[in-house]
């Protein structure tokens, strides 16, 4: 089964605009159409953004995070990966994808997208991933 890491910006877009490609990806996650590779830092960033930037009540944000964690394979990045052009958060996302041997990292982050791939992980935009999933 396909292994995929989804960056925080895709999650946020998926919740904000359910009809677009990120929203479709969130639906794929809940339908378990692929193995979701995640880590605690990604979920913590998502929860923080939901509460602080989108005024989601902490309890509701916690339920969202719990539901996502239920359908995820969790990995713990060591923080050893340091690509100088990337932020600390981006390095952790990339390290999570590598730790779980994700075939894809889906992101809207321009710096990550510029890499195109890292080791065995292809780094692509949400719309591209949706086209792949649709076959």
Number of domains in the chain: 1
Give dist(CA 89, CA 95) in Å, integer: 10
pTM: 0.94
Q: What's 58's domain CATH number?
A: 3.40.50.1010
Give dist(CA 81, CA 62) in Å, integer: 28
Q: pLDDT tens for residues 74-98? A: 999 887 877 767 778 888 999 999 9
Range of the domain at 45: 3-134
Q: pLDDT tens for residues 28-69? A: 999 999 999 999 999 999 999 999 988 999 999 999 999 999
CA 97 to chain centre: 9
Q: Are strands 104-106 and 35-39 parallel, antiparallel or unpaired?
A: unpaired
């Amino acid at each position: 089964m396909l292994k995929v890491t989804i960056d925080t910006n895709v999650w946020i877009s998926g919740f904000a605009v359910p009809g677009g490609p990120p929203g479709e990806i969130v639906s794929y996650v809940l339908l378990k159409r692929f193995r979701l590779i995640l880590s605690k830092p990604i979920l913590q960033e998502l929860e923080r953004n939901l509460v602080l930037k989108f005024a989601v009540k902490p309890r509701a944000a916690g339920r969202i995070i719990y539901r996502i964690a239920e359908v995820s394979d969790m990995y713990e990045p060591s923080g050893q990966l340091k690509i100088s052009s990337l932020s600390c958060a981006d390095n952790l996302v990339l390290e999570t994808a590598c730790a779980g041997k994700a075939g894809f990292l889906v992101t809207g982050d321009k710096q990550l997208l510029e890499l195109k791939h890292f080791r065995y992980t292809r780094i692509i935009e949400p719309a591209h991933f949706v086209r792949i999933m649709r076959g």
